[in-house]
Structure 1
Amino acid sequence: MRTVLGDARFSLAEATVRDVPRLTPQRQGAILTDQDPPDHTRLRRLVAKAFTARRVEQLRGHAEQITRELLDEMVEAGPPADLAGALAVPLPGLMICELIGVPYADRDRFRDWVGAWMSVTALTPEERGEHLAQLAGYLAGLAAQRRRNPTGDLLGALVIASDEGDRLTEDEVVQLTMLILAAGYESTASQIVNFTHALLTHPGQLALLRSRPGLLPGAVEELMRWVPLLAVADVLPRYALADVELSGGTVRAGEPVLLAKHAANRDRRRYEDPHRLDLTRDAQGQLGFGHGIHHCLGAQLARMDIQTALAALLDRFPDLRAAVPEAELTWKTGMAVRGPVAFPIAW
């Protein structure tokens, strides 16, 4: 798996010009995530500085403040509370919107548009296309505002890059912003709910984490390994540009390889007893965020959001528990990401 993800002889861009297995009737290649160098390198370099570990750590205090305020509101309303609506969605939403420069106050306008990005069959092709077109129009309007009144956020930086020569086109500015907003919003929100659910259904591991809070960073890595985010394998296959020897045989030039990172995260050759959740396990190197040049750009921000949310929940609520039986949970359907639609909790 790591060989394919990190080897330049496997191309993602090639999948955009072939009739490959896909999740929707339309070809839905996305800027950055379906490109090879040098195009991928050029675009990633422009946005990577906003997601460095140092920059993300500078945001941690703000994330902790937002989390305290969200939990205060949850406590004031009283149990039960929907963890998704009360914390898991607004925390990463506020953080990614602030980093990009998208007004979170507009969330009622763009939340459904963002969700359409992750739709497989939840929306019709026509509905999905309409939502994404509306999101693109909205972001194009924000970019036009930045052109008139420059700002120091990521969107402002991308607009400057588009205005200072041919480094970015206007469409690239919109498409990059759309990708970062959608991925940073929906994915992290789903995993905050999924990880809390995993802990509550593994009370021994939950008790261990409560007794040893220093385990939290490593616990998030183990949860990333153990809990798959995607309901499907990678959306696009990689195509071999040359004959490549893998452990299972030879992939000939022009042949595709479909990846399943969640399966690799349960590989017995890498992890002892891989189907067991073990928060003391060294899960560094798990592939939940990918590997190689397409390693998730926002991985550090996602880690920080998740660590902040879990730490606050465990500290604030010693008796945190699910408020409904497992059988009453409704799980997402027709979406690329998995998780409960809502997760009622009590304390």
Structure 2
Amino acid sequence: MQNTAETDPDAPIDVTPLLDDPHTAYAALRESGPVHRITGPDGQPAWLVTRYDDVRSAFADARLSLDKKHAAPGGYRGFALPPALDANMMNMDPPDHTRIRRLVVKAFTPRRVDALREPVRRVAEGLLDAMEERGGPADLIADYAGPLPVIVICDLLGIPQRDRRDFRAWTDALVTPDPAKPQAMRDAVGAMLEFYTSLIKTKRAEPDDDLLSDLIAVRDDATGTDGDRLSEDELTSLGFLILFGGYENVVHLIGNATLGLLEHPDRLARLRHHPAELPAVVEEFLRHSGPAPLAIRRFAKEDLEIGGVRIAAGDSVLLGIASANRDPARFPDPDAFDHGRDLSGHLALGHGIHYCVGAPLARMETATALGALIARFPGLRLAVPQGELRRRRTLRAHGLISLPVAWETRNEQVFEA
């Protein structure tokens, strides 16, 4: 199967299989052709790139822009964020992207992330203490995988306990909007903008030793060079992006990985006895069951070809991360979970200049969360049949809505990722 804008511009393929059984559907698309016309998350036609080599090349192709100004008129209808939340790296090309990334990447160096390992472990242990005290069954998403990354990112940004809001409700409204409640998304955006504007005002008056205070200092430093300056909208958007990105992907990765372990008791038992394998296990879960099926949309700046398919200037292009990561041309026996395989080229966290800036933190959080969970509850098991698990039904995210678990006894052994 191969569509082109010239031969079949108005007939996107049905995306329902991608929602119901994504990996099977992606495999069929890879087999039938490298690029397909689909209806994107915004309801408009888009090109879906499915094969590993094409996806990897497209990540680094400067002819594909993140800047919405390159979208064809009427060809993209993403939700319109206010400028104060929209001026972030997910909508930028170099040189603006380079300038802002240079500032943010300092927060996620290996040394800084390693310094966060013990605080993250304490957060994980505290959440597990609360779960154990309440007793099972528990919802691992609501009680553990969800709150852990929120607490970590809030601590990183310096958001006081008293000012922390229901960030999960906000992100849910953006990632999986309810068509029957269009106002919910607008309300979430308004609440986020009000929150960040107020938070920045407070941090300006009372700076502290945290990332947001550092970024405000960069913004307000009159002696800074042009290459290191932030506009006020860029400053606000950065807070939004760090919190949103730091929550959404990590919660789904922890949930997917936990489910993958519970579905395979032998894998779980091996990991309990060989905790040093945790980083490799997390890496394979990123490839095998990553949280982001698609990269953020790109727009063709000029007429071009991907995999022999002609794409017109202004068209939206979606890079199939989940599909590429199970392409047998790159990963033999791709549906099998094998943390001993060569994982150096997986695309779960992007590639090139748009590689996820928070990748080191996401890996560390997930490994620490899994290690603490496995050590605390050796008898951990699903509390409902697998068929009753509630999953997100969206092209934007691959994750669970809830993950009911139960346990029997506590193991006093504790190991760290």
What is the rounded CA distance, in whole Å, between the counterparts of 1:217 and 1:21 in structure 2?
Answer: 41
Q: 1:335 to 1:86 in 2, by over 3 A?
A: farther
Deviations 1:95-123 (A, max 9, x none): 11111122344334444223333234467
Counting only pairs closer than 5 Å after superposition, residues 234-253 of structure 1 correspond to structure 2 as: 234-241=295-302, 243=304, 248-249=307-308
- CA gap 1:109/1:93 in 2 versus in 1, 3 angstroms: closer
- TM-score, reference length from structure 2: 0.76
Q: Look up the match of 2:156.
A: 99
Residue 313 (structure 2) aligned to one of 246, 249, 254: 254
Distance 2:68 2:169 in 1: 31
1:273-313: CA deviation from partner (whole Å, max 9, x where unpaired): 00111122222221111111111111111111100011111
User: Which runs of 5 or more residues in structure 2 are unaligned?
Assistant: 1-54, 408-417
Q: Equivalent residue for 1:346?
A: 406
Which residue of the other structure, out of 358, 364, 370, is the alignment partner of 1:298?
358
Query: CA distance change for structure 1 residues 340 and 20 in 2, over 3 Å: closer, same or farther?
Result: farther
1:76 aligned partner: 133
Shift, 1:340, TM fit: 2.0
Query: Partner amino acid for 1:195?
Result: A
Matched, 1:129 2:129: no
1: distance between equivalents of 2:208 and 2:406?
A: 41
- Which residue does 1:45 correspond to in 2? 102
The separation in 2 between residues aligned to 1:156 and 1:123, in whole angstroms, is 39
Provide, for residues 209-235 of structure 1, a one-character-per-residue CA deviation record: whole Å limited to 9, x for no partner. Answer: 2332221111111000010323x5334
Change (3 A) 1:204 1:281: farther
**Most deviating of 98-107 and 233-242:** 233-242
TM-score, L = length of structure 1 = 0.90
Matching of residue 153 in structure 1 with residue 210 in structure 2: yes
**1:175 maps to what in 2?**
237
Alpha-carbon shift at residue 163 of structure 1 (Å): 1.1
- Number of matched residues? 344
Deviation at 1:181, TM superposition (A): 0.5
Paired residues of 1:120 and 1:336 also in contact (CA < 8 A):
no
Matched, 1:315 2:375: yes
Q: Who is 2:58 aligned against? A: 4
Instruction: Flag the 1:97–1:25 CA change in 2: closer, same or farther, 3 A.
Output: closer
Q: For 2:405, what is the secondary structure of its paired residue?
A: strand
Who is 2:279 aligned against? Answer: 217
Cα offsets for 1:149-192 (capped at 9, x unmatched): 22221111121122124621222111111111111112211211
Per the alignment, residue 221 of structure 2 pairs with 164
Shift in Å, 1:21: 6.0
For 2:266 and 2:166, how far apart are their aligned partners in 1?
41
- Structure 2 CA distance for aligned equivalents of residues 126 and 299 of structure 1: 33
Closer, same or farther: CA 328–136 of 1 in aligned 2, 3 Å: same
Is 1:16–1:34's contact at 8 Å kept on the other side of the alignment?
no
Q: Which runs of 5+ in 1 are unaligned?
A: none
Q: Secondary structure at the match of 2:398?
A: coil
CA gap of 1:243–1:323, structure 2 versus 1, over 3 A, is: closer
The one-letter amino acid paired with 1:199 is: L
The amino acid across from 2:377 in the alignment is F
User: In structure 2, what is the Cα distance between the partners aligned to 1:102 and 1:282?
Assistant: 39
Is 1:273 the equivalent of 2:359?
A: no
Q: Is this contact kept in 1: 2:150–2:167, CA < 8 A? A: no
Compare 272-281 and 208-217 and name the one that shifted more: 208-217
Q: Secondary structure at the match of 1:172?
A: helix
Q: Is the 8 A contact 1:23 1:235 kept in 2?
A: no
Which entry has the higher C-alpha Rg, 1 or 2?
A: 2
